[in-house]
Amino acid sequence: MPDPLPSSPTMARLREASVALYQQGALADAGRLCLDLLAQAPEDFGALLMLGAIATSGGRRLEAVGYFRRAAASEPAAAVAHHNLGIVLMELRRPDEALASFDRAVALDPANADAYCDRAGVHEALQRPEAALTDLAAALALNPRLARAHSNRGSVLHGQGRYEEALACYNLAISLRPDYALAHSKKAAALLALRRAQDALVACERAIRLAPQLAVAHVNRGAVLDHLGRRDEAFAAFETAVRLEPNDPAAQNGLAVGLGWGQGDFAAARSGLARAIELDPAYAEAHVNLAYIHLQAGEFEHGWSLYEWRKRLPEPKGHRILAARPWLGSEPIAGRTLLLHAEQGLGDTLQFARLALACRARGARVTLAVPPSLVRLLGTLDPAIPVLRDDEPPPATEFHCPLLSLPLALRLPADGIPAQVPYLHADAGRVADWRARLGTRGLRIGIAWHGNATNLDHSRFFPLALFRNMASLPGVRLISLQKGEGTAQLADLPAGMAVEIPGQGFDEGDDAFIDSAAVMQSVDLVIAPDTALTHLAGALGRPAWLPLKRWPDWRWPLDRTDSPWYPSHRLFRQARDGVWADVFAAMTDELQRWLQAGLARR
């Protein structure tokens, strides 16, 4: 134990005055008095603790660490010093050291609910959700009305994809503390994950009214606005977040995405993402966004390597726990069994299934596991490649690989994309049936205009009414390939516009796209947005036009009107962000040239 501290009247007055000044917010004056105390008693616990708190308030975290360490050494049994040290170490993103400090704080004061709550945050950062939930349960057992513990429990559940449960936690925290801005901000993130964007925006704006300087609330508001297609406002929100907290990796990431896919400044986006990664080397989302930039630029070697970070996202992609060893190309696979499993959307599966053929060409005995709705269609890939449902236990195999890791495993170069089409085939019987039903009259165009309702990027979709001028061209027939949410637009067509509807039974049942594939094989042209349907048309080798937003997904090059993935595709890109009229005018003009040149049976 340290020697007893001086207790002269002068020292006592200094201590009392420093505390009063600190409580009044006169931090600089309080700090000067504490330094006077330390000049007389270098190990004065109260002065060291207060100087640590003042340094923390001023953003001087390394200085605060020094003071809190000295305070902990001065009074090793004082839990508060270890607790405060842990908080600052977490702010410095040093979770292992923070965990040791919180462990000591909890051991010294096991009745401190806040210490358990803060230690849970370390466990969450170290990707130990169950340990975090255990600590939060302990905190709430000690103090059931600790709003912060309910909010933090929501964060852990959110990270596990348990959004409804997370939302309930945030609502409980807010009921205990209606002015809890951070809980409102977290609530917004959960609502967005639940596809309740308008409610999420309300929650964000409530958080910002309560705490205008809360950077994370502006980050979440930017994400919501981007989802709603209000990209200029989203960009401004991320700019605000970075101004408020330049060292927030999420703010840097959001601003970088806005610079790239909002404004087309991909050089600045690279710099912003590099900054986000510098701030948090384990920030998976920034790594993945940087991968997209490299991939869109054709820098495949670096892009595919970075894309492996998708397996560490809060909602991991491509990560599957199997008994088989993961394969990323380092081991020879000739004569070995290899399970390739689908990930992400149906379009991704259709696009990358072709690489199973490259694995088989290397001598692997390949099995493909895909969503049940694609089993029948992908069964046409190669009779030597069994195709199984991915919701059933996989067969015993030596290696496994998610489909979107195959470009890395196969060292796929940008100029070596296997683009021989078709590599999938429509059912011959269905094709004959649909050709008979559709007939041969006119220029037949299979169209779609909307994608999956759960897709967060609705800016890639467009209104059905934009096909009006095409429909007015002599001999043009529009045949709907649309399913789901967008079909409601068929009931509100512009005057004089007609769209043929395939009718009841179209692509119903377990086999998605079986009828769509047959219709595509029976029409002259397919026009669809960036959804699974455009990938289907490409895999079938059918002529297809793809209307793209100004700055599209990484797989569609920025400087080309053709696709390296699908030779039968032609890309039509927005000239002005968010404006589809020019895209449809260009397609209508091209369609007129088709008709004039007699290309209806191309």
Q: Could you tell me the CATH number of the domain that includes residue 477?
A: 3.40.50.2000
Residue 255 domain flag: no
DSSP string, 418-432: ---S-SS---HHHHH
| 391, 370 Cβ separation under 8 angstroms | no
> Does any domain span residue 543?
yes
Task: Look at phi and psi of residue 393 and say left if phi exceeds 0, alpha if psi is from -120 to 50, else beta.
Answer: beta
Angstrom CA distances, 166 to 100, 183, 196, 222, 254, stand at: 28, 11, 14, 21, 23
β-pair partners for 366: 338
Report if residue 478 sits inside a domain: yes
Does residue 457 belong to any structural domain of this protein?
A: yes
Contact 576, 455 (CB under 8 A): no
C-alpha to C-alpha distance for 297 and 464, rounded to whole angstroms:
31
3-class DSSP assignment, residue 259:
helix
In this prediction, residue 3 carries a pLDDT of: 40
pLDDT, position 40: 79
**Positions of the chain with pLDDT lower than 70, given as ranges:** 1-12, 14, 18, 24, 453-457, 599-602
Q: Domain check: are 582 and 446 in the same one?
A: yes
Its pTM stands at: 0.84
The number of distinct structural domains making up the chain is 2
* Domain-located, residue 463: yes
Is residue 402 one of the residues assigned to a domain?
Answer: yes
Tokens describing residue 409: 């495993």
Q: Across the chain, which distance is largest between two alpha carbons, in Å? A: 105
Query: Domain boundary residue among 367, 384, 416?
Result: 416
Distance CA 414, CA 83 (A): 52
* 23 to 17, 19, 81, 129: CA distances (angstroms): 10, 6, 19, 37
Helix pair 266-279, 284-296: axis angle to 10 deg: 150
Residues 543 and 412 in one domain: no
Range of the domain at 525: 434-597
Same domain, 403 and 376: yes
130 domain residue, yes or no = no
449 in the same domain as 354: no
Which of 387, 416, 445 terminates a domain? The answer is 416
Q: Name the helix (H) or strand (E) containing 365.
A: strand 365-370
Residue 235 in tokens: 């960009």
Q: What is the pLDDT of residues 449-458, one digit of tens each?
A: 998 755 556 7
Q: What is the pLDDT of residues 27-37, one digit of tens each?
A: 787 777 778 77
Q: Is there a single domain that holds both residue 439 and residue 408?
A: no
Residues 366, 443 within the same domain: no
Domain boundary among 416, 442, 465: 416
443 and 589 in a common domain: yes
Are 402 and 444 found together in one domain?
Answer: no
CB 239 within 8 A of CB 275: no
Residues 394 and 541 occupy one common structural domain: no
Q: What contacts 221, CB < 8 A, 6 or more positions away?
A: 188, 201, 204, 205, 208, 234, 237
Query: Exposed, middle or buried: residue 332 (CB in 10 Å: 0-12, 13-18, 19+)?
Result: exposed
Q: Are residues 401 and 440 in the same domain?
A: no
Sheet containing strand 387-389, strands side by side: 325-326, 399-402, 337-341, 365-370, 387-389
| Torsion sign across C-alpha atoms 498, 499, 505, 509 | negative
Same domain, 398 and 459: no
Q: Is there a single domain that holds both residue 447 and residue 408?
A: no
d(CA 375, CA 391): 11
Q: Is residue 536 part of a domain?
A: yes
**Strand ranges inside 414-516, DSSP E:** 443-447, 476-480
